[in-house]
Amino acid sequence: MTTILAPPGRRVRDNRPDTPRRRRSPLITGAGTLLVILFALLGPLVAPYSPTAQLAAPFQQPDGQFLLGTDVLGRDVASRVLGGGRTIVLTALAGTAAAGAVGMAAGVLAALASRRSGDLLLRCVDALAVLPGLLVVLVLAAGFPGSHAALVAAVALATAPFSTRVLRAAADTVLRSGYVEAALARGDGRWAVLRHDVLPNIAGPALMDTALRLVASLHLSATAGFLGLGPGGAAPDWGRMVSENVPGAALAVTPFLAPALLLVLLSVAVGLLAGRLADRAGRGAA
Amino acid sequence: MNLAAFVGRRLAAATVLLVLLSAVIFAATAVLPGDAVSAVAGVDASAARRAEVRAELGLDRPAAERYADWVAGAVQGDLGRGFVGDRPVTEVLATRLPNSLLLAGLTLAITAPLATLLGLWTGLRGGGADRFVSTAAQTLAAVPEFVIAALLVAVLAVWLEILPRVSVIPLGGTPLDVPHALILPVLTLSAVGLAVATRLLRVSVTDVAASPYCEAARLNGVRGVRLAVRHILPNAAGPAVQALTLTTGALVGSAVVVENVFDYPGIGRELQLAVAARDIPMVQGIATALAGVMLAVLLAGDICARLLGAREGHRR
- What are A201-223's pLDDT values in tens digits? 888 888 888 888 888 888 888 88
In this prediction the ipTM stands at 0.81
Task: Please tell me which of the candidates A138, A242, A257 has its beta carbon nearest to residue B271.
Answer: A138
Task: Please tell me which of the candidates A239, A256, A271 has its beta carbon nearest to residue B139.
Answer: A271
pLDDT at B315: 41
Residue B140 has pLDDT above 80, yes or no: yes
CA distance B7 to chain A (A): 18
Query: In B, which residues are within 8 Å of A143 by CB distance?
Result: 28-32
Task: State how far the Cα of B140 lies from the Cα of B114, in Å rounded to an integer.
Answer: 16
Mean predicted confidence (pLDDT) in A173-190: 82
Contact A143 B249 (CB under 8 A): no
Mean predicted confidence (pLDDT) in A18-46: 73
CA distance A241 to chain B (A): 11
pTM for the predicted model, two decimal places: 0.81
Instruction: Decide: helix, strand or coil at residue B107.
Output: helix
Amino acid at B196: V
Q: Pick the residue with more confidence: B84 or B9?
A: B9
Query: In A, which residues are within 8 Å of B224 by CB distance?
Result: 10
Task: State how far the Cα of A164 lies from the Cα of A121, in Å rounded to an integer.
Answer: 10
Cα B4 to Cα B10, B306, B307, distances in angstroms: 10, 12, 12
Task: State how far the Cα of B149 lies from the Cα of B185, in Å rounded to an integer.
Answer: 8
Q: Is residue B201 a contact partner of residue B117, using CB atoms and an 8 Å limit?
A: no
Out of A24-33, A177-186, B23-32, B256-265, least confident range:
A24-33
Task: State how far the Cα of B313 lies from the Cα of A153, in Å rounded to an integer.
Answer: 44
pLDDT at A94: 92
Residue to substitute from A29, A245, A246, interface B, most B β-carbons within 10 A: A246
Q: What is the DSSP letter of A43?
A: G
**Axis-axis angle for helices A115-130, A148-175 (nearest 10):** 150
Contact B287 A226 (CB under 8 A): no
Cα A190 to Cα A227, A239, A243, B23, B109, distances in angstroms: 46, 46, 52, 37, 53
pLDDT digits (tens, 9 = 90+) for B244-294: 777 777 788 888 888 888 888 888 888 888 888 888 888 888 988 888 888
Amino acid at A255: P
Residues contacting residue B300 through CB under 8 Å, at least 6 positions apart: B245
Residues contacting residue B27 through CB under 8 Å, at least 6 positions apart: B63, B67
Query: In B, which residues are within 8 Å of A18 by CB distance?
Result: 203, 206
pLDDT at B167: 63
Residue to substitute from A11, A13, A36, A130, interface B, most B β-carbons within 10 A: A130
Angle, vertex CA B149, rays to CA B144 and CA B155, nearest 5: 130
Nearest to A107 by CA among A169, A190, A172, A164: A164
**Mean confidence (pLDDT) of chain A:** 78
Task: State how far the Cα of A270 lies from the Cα of B139, in Å rounded to an integer.
Answer: 10
Query: In A, which residues are within 8 Å of B216 by CB distance?
Result: none
Residues contacting residue B28 through CB under 8 Å, at least 6 positions apart: A139, A140, A142, A143
Contact A253 B291 (CB under 8 A): no
Residue A286 has pLDDT above 70, yes or no: no
Residue of chain B nearest A242, judged by CA positions: B150
pLDDT digits (tens, 9 = 90+) for B37-83: 766 666 677 777 777 777 777 777 777 778 888 888 888 777 777 77
Angle, vertex CA A152, rays to CA A233 and CA B274, nearest 5: 55
- The answer, for B275 touching chain A at a CB cutoff of 8 Å, is yes
Out of A15-24, A191-200, B19-28, B226-235, least confident range:
A15-24
Amino acid at B233: L
Residue A26 confidence class, pLDDT cut points 50, 70, 90: low
- Residue B151 has φ and ψ, to the nearest 5°, of -65, -40
The most confident of A195-199, A246-250, B106-110, by mean pLDDT:
B106-110
Query: In A, which residues are within 8 Å of B245 by CB distance?
Result: none
Instruction: List all residues of chain B from 109 to 138 with a beta carbon under 8 Å from chain A.
Output: 122-127, 130-131, 134-135, 138
Task: Please tell me which of the candidates A243, A257, A268 has its beta carbon nearest to residue B142.
Answer: A268
Residues contacting residue B86 through CB under 8 Å, at least 6 positions apart: none
Residue A242 confidence class, pLDDT cut points 50, 70, 90: confident
Residue A232 confidence class, pLDDT cut points 50, 70, 90: low
Instruction: Decide: helix, strand or coil at residue A76.
Output: strand
CA distance A208 to chain B (A): 15
Contact B249 A242 (CB under 8 A): no
pLDDT at A255: 82
Mean predicted confidence (pLDDT) in B203-221: 79
Nearest to B134 by CA among B205, B187, B195, B189: B195
Nearest to A271 by CA among B19, B136, B44, B2: B136
